[in-house]
Structures are given as structure tokens and as C-alpha cells.
Chains A and B, each alone.
Chain A
Amino acid sequence: MVAGESLIGRTERVEKASGLRLFWYAMWARAYPRIIGATRERSWLFFETLLPVLAVAGYVFIYRAIQAPPEYTGFAVLGGAMTAFWLNILWSMASQLYWDKDAGNLELYVVSPAPMMAILLGMALGGLTMTATRAITILVVCSVLFGVTYQVVSPLLLIAVFVVTMAALYGMGMLFASIFLVAGREAWHLSNLLQEPIYLASGFYFPVKALGFGVATAASIIPLTLGMDAMRQLIFAGGPALGFLSVPLEVGILAALSVIFIGAAGFALARLEVVGRREGRIIERRR
């Protein structure tokens, strides 16, 4: 205790960032555990790559057995890779604030001057980085295993579609995080409920167009529905023929969803803080 008295003895003030700089610091600080976590727990390489590959393999063999067009194999492979993002949204975004509350981190975030929106964006950024690695691994392994060939029409448009899909998807995750925090334990069941049905409704393993206009339109609230549909149109030769809507329209809708979800997440967070402070929900450890 005596050794470090030099620090205790310091009386000069420590300079602290505020405004946008604080937002930036806080966002990357919160992203850090997720990014670094991927390198610390390597068991994901086995579980989170092998299991989606098996799921994709099931569809690929069915498509081959019924002699479906070869694009369907590619559709299933892309869908299998994108499941990583959906799982990340459900289990590492939507439920995260609830888990953070349980661990005692949430109240430390609230007590700190860091904006909660920066914390949520950091969660999203970290999750996106970590999950992109997993998705790319699944994509590469499956493409090699099943001999998928790609024909990218417009790389820039493809990048734009991916970016806007992720913005909308993680915006939705940020909104879910606030809602799930208020919902408490029940949110766990909601995550379970949203997992498999969305695989079906969003057309993870087949063109969503096959579900009919009504179902496909309703499923478009999940950004991956239109995001995958647009990406499939841009990377497979037969993609456009199997597309649900035109790519520009899908990009437009996804951009609108991004704004809506991120805006709603900001509103929900502000509301959550007011309700949480009034009802004591930020500090309670269980309901």
C-alpha cells in the first residue's frame, strides 16, 4: 500500500474527454470485450462453424436429390453463413443488457458519463466484428465443400447491401436490447421463439420469394430477409430470377429500417433509463 503513494499523492486533475470523443472512446471500450473474446475462447471455431455447416449440408443434399437449380446450393450456403448474425442478434445483442444488469455492469455503465447509445453501438460493433469472422469461416468452408461458384455483378453494390443490412440488423438488435431489459427473464423465451421461425420466414436456406408475397413482405421487417435476397441477386448468376424485390428497392427499404431501428433504439434507451430509475429496474438483480 505504501509503495504507490506517488499516485495517491497526485493532486493534478486527470483530463477527461467529453462529447463525441467520449462517445468514440466508450463505443470502442464496449466493443473490446467482444472482439478480444473471439480470440480467447476458440471453441467457437468448432461449435459455431461445424453446426451451421451440418445444417447447410442437409439442405444441399436435399436440393441435389431433387435436382434443384445449382443456385439453391449457393443460397443455402449464404443463408448458413448469415445464421451467425441472427444468433448474435438474439443471444449477444438482445439479451446482453439483461445479462449486464445481472452481472452488475449495467449500473456501472449508467453511472459513468458515457452515453448509453455508445455502449449499445459498441456492443453492436464488437458483435459484428466477431460474427463476421464466423460467417466468413462458414462461407469459405461450405463453398469449398459444396463447390459453390459466385458471379459478383457489382462489388460496390454488394458491399453497400451488406453494410446497410448490418446497420438495420444491429439497429434492430439495439432496439431489442432495450426491450428485452424491460421484459426481464421472459426475454429468454422470446429469443428462443425468434430463432427457428425466423430461419423459415426470412428464407435463410431458400429464396424468400417461395413463401409468397404476403409472408415475404411481413418477413421483411427482419433486415436479413431483404439483405440476403439482395446479396443472392448480386452474387449468383440465377439470383435475379429468384429475387423477391429489385435490389435498389431492397437497399432503400433496408436504409429506412436502419434509421427506424437505430432511432427507436435511442428512444427506447432514453425511456428505459427514465422507467428504470423510477421503478428501480436498473439496480434490481432479478425479477
Chain B
Amino acid sequence: MTAIPAIATHDLGRIYKLRGKKRKDEPKELVALAGVDLTVDSGEMFGLLGPNGAGKTTLIKILTTLLLPSQGSAQVMGLDVLADSQEIRRHISMVSGGETSGYGLLTVEENLWMFARLYGLESKVAKQRIAELMEVVGITDRARTKISDLSTGLRQKMNFIRGFISDPDVVFLDEPTLGLDVGAARQVRSFIKTWMERHPDRTLLLTTHYMAEADELCDRLAIIDKGKLLALDTPEQLKHRLQREAIFRLKVVPLGHRPANSDGLLEAVPGVRQVVATEVEGATDLSLILAGDDALSGVLHHLNQRGSGLISLEKREPTLEDVFVDLVGRSLDVDTSRTGDENGRG
């Protein structure tokens, strides 16, 4: 008998109708998710990686029964998101980064107690779990602080506790470390890892646009952009895709204006697979994916022709960031609205 996957989607899609009056040339719909096929097994820590607007949150909202799909199907714990939404809710919890939920007049422990009761926990059990989880996350001293007096980081820790109080089978974490400082984010990641190690039958779906976080935490990853699933594999396998390529990071004298002629672009140099350029303190930082080491000489020649010069050069092992750039054609940090605009690129 085949085990039921914790999450399964088939040809899942979601289209938003854009409200308000539109000019003829303006789109009336937004495709947030298109034909997503996904299976997450019980016990997996699964990551969804993609830039803002990629469709990650839409996918989570559908799986957590907050949104209906426009096409396709989705199941959580073998239950259909359309037909069995009430039953699904007994098995899941959700925490989003930057949440402002809760009631400001209530203390941290009162807010958590309130949400625990919505999941049917006995008051005594709820209070015990709240006390223990607060200790785990390190906010015991804030138990009686009104949440209106909490900093963003502390509030996020409280939200994080809320996601685990109800002992869920599937936890959806939407950018859980968003807005947290480095130390707090590390604590959260450490908690997630330990929880998953100790509860091998539970499932965690995490969305993030922090590559290192995804690499550190996830058993498998899906890279998603513009609503489409571009790749799905373990972090190691994803990085292995780029083993044949050579990945370089160059710091060069600013490139100046983008050439009008496409032949003059860095991407046109033979052997150059992907280029991401970022302006940093009077220099241009170039992340290059090349077909091989020998393509580098062409790049340096091209830079020289454009009046730029090499400041530093580093050859790197492939990272998830490189995988993303290779698949999507831009960095996670690049504002897509500026792509193609001359800003030192190419």
C-alpha cells in the first residue's frame, strides 16, 4: 500500500481577477499560479523558493484552505482542499512572516492561549505547552507583556510558537524569518530542524527567498517563478546541475551604459550562460555562470573593450542562488521591473 503524501497538487492554478477600472491595454487578470504539480511526503521538510510575486504565498493559501484554486486539484493529508477544507484544518497550522495578528491588549500568553483553544486544546494543556514553547524560543520573560509592546522580532517569535502549539501534522511557514535579526532567525531555524528531527512523521512546508535558509533546512526544494515550477529536487541535486559550469564572481570598474547593440552585451560573449550585475560602492559586481573556465578569457576581453577593468575575481562552488539565476535568468534580489534597463548589466 502506498503511503498518502502529506501534500499533493495536480495542475494547480490560480488566477486573480484584477479589480477596478482598467484601460484596454491593462491586464484584467493575474496568473499567480500555473499548472503546479507537486508531491510532498510525510516527514519531509519542503521548501518553496522564489522571488516576491512568484506564487509561493498563493500556493500556501490554497493548501491552507484560504483560497480556492482556479484549476487543478490539491490535497493535504489526502483530503481535498475544496471538499474537505474543515477536516484539513484539524491537521494544519500556518505562520507568516511579518504577521500582525493577535490582540494588542492581551499578553503574549493570553494571545497564544486564545489561538490554542481554537484548535480544541484543553486550557491546562494549552498553558503548559505555551510555557514550554516560550522557553524554547526564549521569550518566557515576555509572557505577561502586552503584544502591542513587543518588538517585531519578539512578535514573530510569538507567532512562530502559535504555529506549533496545536501539534499539527503539516506546518506551513510563509517566510518565517522575515524581519528577524540574524540571531533570532538562527534560533527559529534551529527550532525547526530539531522539531522535524524529533517528529519524523510531521511535514513542514516552508517558503523563503533566503537561499541559505532553504539550503540549510530543506530536504527538497521547488524553485518557483511567475507561478510556474521551474525545478524540484534536493538542494544537492539542484546544485549538481551546475557542476559542469564554471561560476565566477568578478568585481570590475563600473561598466557604464548598456550597449545599444545586443552584440555588445556581456551575455553575447561565447560561453556566457548567465550574468547578474549589481552596482556596489563604485564598482560593478558580476555573478557569472560560464559554460567552462575557458570562457573567462572572452569575458575579460569584453570588459577590457568596454573600458572596464578587473578589480577582483573569485571562482565559487555552485549555490542555490546560482541555480536560481541559471533557471530564472536573474537574481532573487533583482527587481524584475528594472531588468533590461541599463544599470551596469551586460
Contact = CB atoms under 8 A, between A and B. Distances in A.
**Of A10, A111, A287, most B-chain CB atoms within 10 Å:** A111
B56 to A, nearest CB: 13
Interface in A12-44: 13-18, 21-22, 25-26, 28-30, 32-33, 36-37, 40-41
B293 interface: no
B216 interface: no
A22 B120 contact: yes
Interface in B260-297: none
B113 to A, nearest CB: 8
A4 interface: yes
A112 B119 contact: yes
Given A8-B195, A103-B101, A104-B100, A112 B121 contact: no
Contacts of A26: 117-118
A144 interface: no
Nearest to B64: A111
Interface stretch (A58-66, A234-242, A244-252, A278-286): A278-286
B interface majority secondary structure: mixed
Contacts, number: 142
A154 interface: no
Contacts of A29: 113-115, 117-118
A282 B90 CA distance: 19
Interface string B76-91: 0000000001100110
B187 A1 contact: yes
B333 interface: no
B22 interface: no
A15 B132 contact: no
A29 B103 CA distance: 12
Contact of A32 (B61, B66, B114): B114
A109 B190 CA distance: 28
B187 A8 contact: no
**Of B66, B90, B106, B191, most A-chain CB atoms within 10 Å:** B66
A107 interface: yes
Interface string A218-242: 0000000000000000000000000
A14 B194 CA distance: 18
Contacts of A4: 132-133, 135-137
B68 A9 contact: no
Interface string A61-92: 00000000000000000000000000000000
A110 B85 CA distance: 10
Contact of A8 (B19, B65, B113, B198): B198
B90 A32 contact: no
Contacts of B322: none
Given A30-B114, A108-B94, A17 B122 contact: yes
A108 B90 contact: no
A277 interface: yes
A145 interface: no
B66 A111 contact: yes
A14 B136 contact: no
A33 B119 contact: no
Contact of A104 (B61, B96, B105, B146): B96
B106 A283 contact: no
**Of B19, B121, B138, B191, most A-chain CB atoms within 10 Å:** B121
Contacts of A114: 118-120
B199 interface: yes
Contacts of B162: 108
Interface of A: 1, 3-11, 13-18, 21-22, 25-26, 28-30, 32-33, 36-37, 40-41, 103-105, 107-114, 119, 277-280, 282-283, 287
Given A29-B117, A108-B162, A110-B66, 9 more contacts: A6-B132, A7-B132, A8-B195, A11-B199, A14-B167, A16-B167, A40-B146, A111-B65, A111-B94
11 contacts: A4-B136, A8-B194, A8-B195, A16-B119, A25-B118, A36-B106, A40-B146, A103-B100, A104-B96, A109-B118, A111-B94
A-B interface, 6 closest residue pairs, ranked by CB to CB distance from nearest = A4-B136, A17-B120, A29-B117, A16-B120, A7-B132, A14-B167
